[in-house]
A and B are shown apart, each in its own frame.
Chain A
Amino acid sequence: MPGSIQSIERAAVVLHFLGALSEPVPLGDVARMLALPKPTAHGILRTLCEVGFVVQERDTGRYALGTGLSRLGEALDPHLLRSRAVNWADGLAARTELEVQLGILTGQSVEVLHHVFRPDGSPQQLRVGELQPLHATALGITLLAFSPAAGRLHDLRLPAYTPSTPVTRIDLTRVVQQTFRRGWVLTDGTLRPGVAAVAAPIRHHIGIGVGALAVVGPRDRVIAAAGEPRAGIVDQVVAAADAISVHLQDRL
């Protein structure tokens, strides 16, 4: 097979071999069946374990197909994501004293999947289910930067909601790329004047963005005098989003 990459080919053979057997198999059997030296077979199996396609039984050391492979074509269930995120979102709201929103990509919009009120007793409306524009929200820009599906949104419309909304493709690309590099974004009045937000991605399986977590609030409670986010806010948002990401891997 000209041009084929041997290690990928071998990995595919290992997966087919494991998939054909109903019971976990020891390393020796894999090496023998594939006519490979044990260290080579071991290297392939270790790598496949790391990406979740193969699992090794703890007691026996035998190998079997992992769930990562059968779930490859499935999107993460949004309500599973919400249920894993609830405690972290609550903690983030308690510590920052800001409103917390968790968003996912739905069509060409952000869908608010989870919402925690700003804990100050003020009257607030539950925003779960609300659709927000991708280019004008911190949640949306984070999803554009990290979600594989968002990269294909070439026909995204960019209406102006305020003078600060990025309305040209160049402006939007710049902020998306900066978000990708830094791992978070600050928006200042891009959807509603006087409202600012900081968002960070929730990632699943080697870094793929499945959602975004944001704190949202009045400008002066999010942004310091110099125009940067107030001390600690970025760290809190990123730490909560990362904790949710880790918690997702735990269970799946």
Chain B
Amino acid sequence: MRAYVAAIDQGTTSTRCLIFDHHGRMVSVAQHEHAQHYPQPGWAEHDAAEIWRNTLRVLPEALADAGLSADDLAAVGIANQRETTVVWDRTTGRPLARAITWQDTRTADLVEDLNRGPHADLFREVCGLTPAGYFAAPRLRWLLDHVPGLERRARSGEIAFGTMESWLIWNLTGGPDGGVHVTDVTNASRTLLMDIRTLDWDQRLLDALDIPRELLPEVRPNAQVYGECVVGLPGVPIGGAFGDQQAALFGQTCFEAGEAKCTYGTGAFLLMNTGDQIPTSEHGLISTVAYALEGQAPVYATEGSIAVAGALVQWFRDSLEMIRSAPEIETLARRVEDNGGCYIVPAFAGLFAPRWQPDARGVVVGLTSYVTRSHLARAVLEATAWQTAEVVEAMAADTGINFARLKVDGGMTANHLLMQSVADVLAVPVERPLVAESVSLGAAYAAGLAVGYWPDLQGLRDNWHRAAVWEPAMSDALRRRERAAWDRAVERTLHWVHDDDVAR
């Protein structure tokens, strides 16, 4: 009896394997971190070969931890860091350059040219995205321009491109010896190359970036058997793949239009299911594919990203040295009743959704001799709450759907004060599910659906259990006053960077 499903979570800092039972309960986890390479300021790279080696280590470790063998697994699914770009040689199986990660900013100029060029509207129209350094295709273009011989060999079909799920699936299914070269619709929707309606590569977009089609993987639904593992988990079908944030949306079982989740990590990502609608955002949000099941119409989502969430706590810990560990911020913040009039807006790299002001920089305002580091700690946590509120408002304005509640996950949900603040400023209940590993669970769900381990979406919904609810407890008057103060603080971040400043 194949009683379990595995998920590979290929993340920014580590690769993990998690095994789940039929109730969606985690039975084991294994993890290995990989090196972060920063060869130049603004560059951030991973060694794809190291990530593949780590994958081959975590699979048997997770099985051994639970006393299982590959024969106990009905399927394996993959969730991955989105937009991280790798190219490899189809014959040798070796990566041809370090993978360029989603944090890397080297394509900023290329993207700026793209946005000034004739194709900017075409990108927006076809793939639902405004070109940004964030997405994969500009990174692929950069590699074609800078890796010697790559462009020529790409056109002859010797080379493969992929994001991390493509790289892992190709290797798991045999690599040079019959490896399957596929991607899923959610990862493909973050390249800038996929038509968000047809769910296939669009030749006009490929032409605009001059990317040879021979490089590209085939775009597949999220829950479908792509192939069978020949290494790692021999004989186990690979039943699904997902970009991490869409995986979390699926893992939180947000299957109906209007259902939303926010994952609080280094950054925070709020995704709302919009059903069969592709909202065109007037408020700086991104349209993306939520999921596509085999033989069914795709389901879309709108996404708002908060660049600095947990990262602000890390800054408070590492740069200001106010606390020794991130959780201690709650202890510090609890020493006072309120923020003492102090607000922090972490526009470290400009303001992101929904404002998109690249010339903004962070501020700490409202300082008086009354303000202590405890008030600053409050202001750090409230910054994440208010940024969530801004994204929620933008979504409501775009879609006309008002949130009745918000599902949350991620490491920062352990911060009770933060979660209470989010409920207070949103004025809706905030709910945490019992399984905090929503990303991995989403990948496992997709794989399990593909092989019939779970019968349908309703079966998955039954696995979702509420572990905590934070009810809003702030008066309307106080919320309005605090919101007005936050807005004034945000105004003070604007237009800080001048053209004659040294870039920083």
Contacts and interface: CB of A to CB of B under 8 A. Distances in A.
Interface of A: 77-80, 82-83, 86-87, 90-91, 93-95, 114-117, 119-121, 124, 126, 128-129, 251
Given A94-B25, A121-B465, A126-B470, A80 B328 contact: yes
Tell me which of B325, B436, B467, B471 has the highest count of chain A C-beta atoms within 10 A of its own C-beta. Answer: B467
A79 B330 contact: yes
B462 to A, nearest CB: 10
29 contacts: A77-B325, A77-B328, A77-B331, A79-B327, A79-B328, A79-B331, A79-B415, A82-B327, A83-B414, A83-B415, A90-B434, A90-B436, A90-B467, A93-B434, A93-B467, A94-B434, A95-B25, A114-B416, A116-B434, A117-B466, A117-B468, A117-B469, A119-B434, A119-B467, A120-B465, A124-B466, A126-B469, A126-B470, A126-B471
A82 B467 contact: no
Given A79-B329, A117-B466, A126-B468, 8 more contacts: A77-B327, A79-B328, A80-B328, A83-B411, A90-B436, A90-B467, A94-B435, A117-B434
Nearest to A113: B416
Given A91-B25, A117-B468, A80 B325 contact: yes
B465 A82 contact: no
Contacts of B414: 79, 82-83, 86
B331 A78 contact: yes
B26 interface: yes
B198 to A, nearest CB: 40
B416 A83 contact: no
Interface string B16-46: 0000000101100000000000000000000
Contacts of A94: 23, 25, 434-435, 465
A80 B329 CA distance: 9
Contacts of A120: 465
A112 to B, nearest CB: 10
A119 B198 CA distance: 40
A124 B25 CA distance: 21
Interface in B465-487: 465-471
Tell me which of B326, B329, B468 has the highest count of chain A C-beta atoms within 10 A of its own C-beta. Answer: B468
A121 B466 contact: yes
Contacts of A79: 327-331, 414-416
Contacts, number: 69
Contacts of A119: 434, 465-467
Contacts of A129: 416
Nearest to A81: B327
Nearest to A127: B468
Q: What 5 A-B pairs come out closest when comparing CB atoms?
A: A119-B465, A83-B327, A79-B327, A79-B330, A83-B414
B331 A116 contact: no
Contact of B467 (A77, A78, A117, A251): A117
Contacts of B471: 126
Contact of A90 (B325, B435, B469, B470): B435
Interface of B: 23, 25-26, 325-331, 411, 413-416, 434-436, 465-471
B416 A128 contact: yes
Nearest to A251: B325
A133 B241 CA distance: 49
B46 to A, nearest CB: 25
A91 B468 CA distance: 14
Contacts of A114: 416
Nearest to A71: B324
A136 B23 CA distance: 34
B219 to A, nearest CB: 35
B331 A86 contact: no
Contacts of B465: 94, 117, 119-121
Contacts of A91: 25-26
A128 B466 CA distance: 15
A116 B26 contact: no
Contacts of A77: 325, 327-328, 331
A115 B470 CA distance: 11
A131 to B, nearest CB: 15
B436 A80 contact: no
Tell me which of A83, A128, A129 has the highest count of chain B C-beta atoms within 10 A of its own C-beta. Answer: A83
Contact of A87 (B23, B328, B436, B469): B436
A116 B468 contact: yes
Contacts of B435: 90, 94
Contacts of A93: 434, 467
B341 to A, nearest CB: 24
Contacts of B327: 77, 79-80, 82-83
B66 to A, nearest CB: 13
B439 to A, nearest CB: 14
B377 to A, nearest CB: 11
Contacts of B331: 77-79
Nearest to B431: A117
A128 B414 CA distance: 12
Contacts of A95: 25
A94 to B, nearest CB: 5
Contacts of A78: 331
A154 B468 CA distance: 36
Nearest to A74: B324
B323 to A, nearest CB: 9
Nearest to A89: B467
Nearest to A126: B468
A116 to B, nearest CB: 5
A129 B330 CA distance: 13
Contacts of A121: 465-466
B324 to A, nearest CB: 8
Nearest to B468: A126
Contacts of B466: 117, 119, 121, 124
A239 B503 CA distance: 53
Contacts of B467: 90, 93, 116-117, 119
B386 to A, nearest CB: 21
Tell me which of A77, A93, A114 has the highest count of chain B C-beta atoms within 10 A of its own C-beta. Answer: A77
Nearest to B324: A77
Contacts of B26: 91
Contacts of A116: 434, 467-468
Contact of B468 (A83, A87, A115, A251): A115
A108 B341 CA distance: 34
A232 B190 CA distance: 47
Contacts of B328: 77, 79-80
Nearest to A78: B331
A181 to B, nearest CB: 31
Tell me which of B23, B325, B413, B436 has the highest count of chain A C-beta atoms within 10 A of its own C-beta. Answer: B325
B59 to A, nearest CB: 21
